[in-house]
Chains A and B, each alone.
Chain A
Amino acid sequence: MAEFLAMGGYGAYVWSSYTIAALVLGVNAVLARRAERAVLHALAHDLNGDDDDATA
C-alpha cells in the first residue's frame, strides 16, 4: 500500500493529478445536474406565480 501511494517516488505528482481530475470532473457533474434542476424549479416557480394572478 505504501508503495502504491509512493508511486516510485513520484507520488506527489501522480496523486495531485488524479485529485485535480476528480475535482474538475466532479464539479462539472454537480453543476450539470444543478443546471437542469434549476431550470425546472425556476419554471415551476413562474408557472405557479402566473396561476396565482389568474382571475378569469
Chain B
Amino acid sequence: MFAFLHKYASLMHFYRLSARWSGWLALATALLMAYGLYGGLVTAPADYQQGDSFRIIYIHVPSAWMSLFVYMCMAGAGAIALVWKIKLAEIWLRASAPLGASFTFLALVTGSIWGKPMWGTWWVWDARLTSELILLFLYLGIMALDNAIEDRRTGARAAAVLTLIGVVNIPIIHYSVEWWSTLHQGPTVSKLDRPSIHIDMLIPLLVMAFAFTTFYFAAALARVRGGILAYDRNTNWVRDLVGRGTVRGHG
C-alpha cells in the first residue's frame, strides 16, 4: 500500500499527473460559481425575517466552512510531514496557508457586514466570532513562522507543529455556539438534525460551498506545482523541464 502511495508522493509523478487537474478544477470552479451565484442572488427566495440581506450567507458560510476545512487539510498534511517526512505534504501545507487565511478573513468581514443590519453591531466578542478571529491569527502565525525560517524543510516542519497545536481551535469554533451562550446563532446545516433552511435556499449554498472547495484545490495546486519545482530544482527532471528552451507555464 505504501509503495502505491509513495508513487503519488514522488514529486515528479505528482507534478506530471496534476498537469490536467488544474484545468478541470478551474473549469469546475467557474461553472459552480456561476450556478451558485445565480441561485443565491436571483432564484433563492428572500428570507421571511432577514429579507435580501440573508444572501450574504452565500459568501459567508462557504468561507467559514472553508476556513475550517483548509485548516484540517493543513493539519493532516502537517502530521504526514512530521511523521513520514513526505515533501509533498510540506509543500501542500505551505500552499494552503494563504488560502485558509483568505477564507477566514472573508468569513469575518462578510459576517461583520451581515451583522450590522441584522444584529445591530459590526462585532461582538462572543465565543464564535472570537475563536474564528483566533483562527485568522493562527493562519498568519503559521505563514510568518514558515517565512522566518531560512531552511525550507525546517520551516515547513515548524509550521506543521504550530498547525497541529492550533487544531484544538477547530472544534471550539464549531461547538462554540452550543457550549456557550453566544450572539451568533447555532448551526443551520452542519448538525445531526435536518437542515433548518428551506431547500430553495439550501441548494445554492451547497453549490457555492462546492465552488469554494474546487477553488481551493485549484489555487493550492498551482502553488504546489511551483513548490515542487523549487524543491526539486537540482534534479534532472526539473532541469529537463525548465531547460527545454521555452518556459512551460500555463498559457
Contacts and interface: CB of A to CB of B under 8 A. Distances in A.
Contacts of B117: 10, 13
Q: What is the interface of chain A mostly: helix, strand, loop, or mixed? A: helix
A51 to B, nearest CB: 8
B106 interface: yes
Interface in A1-34: 4, 7-10, 13-14, 16-18, 20-21, 24-25, 27-29, 31-33
A16 B59 contact: no
B233 A17 contact: no
A45 to B, nearest CB: 9
A39 B238 CA distance: 11
B233 A40 contact: no
A32 B222 contact: yes
Interface stretch (B49-57, B142-150, B195-203): B49-57
A24 B46 contact: no
Contacts, number: 105
Contact of A17 (B113, B220, B222, B242): B113
B27 interface: no
Interface in B38-68: 41-42, 46, 51-53, 55-56, 59-60, 63
A35 B114 contact: no
A14 B99 contact: no
B157 interface: no
A8 B44 CA distance: 14
Nearest to B219: A32
Given A33-B250, A35-B222, A13 B113 contact: yes
Given A13-B116, A16-B113, 6 more contacts: A7-B51, A7-B52, A17-B59, A24-B102, A36-B226, A40-B247
Interface of A: 4, 7-10, 13-14, 16-18, 20-21, 24-25, 27-29, 31-33, 35-41, 43-44, 46-48, 51
Interface of B: 41-42, 46, 51-53, 55-56, 59-60, 63, 98-99, 102, 105-106, 109-110, 113-114, 116-117, 215, 218-220, 222-223, 225-227, 229-230, 233, 238-239, 242-243, 247-250
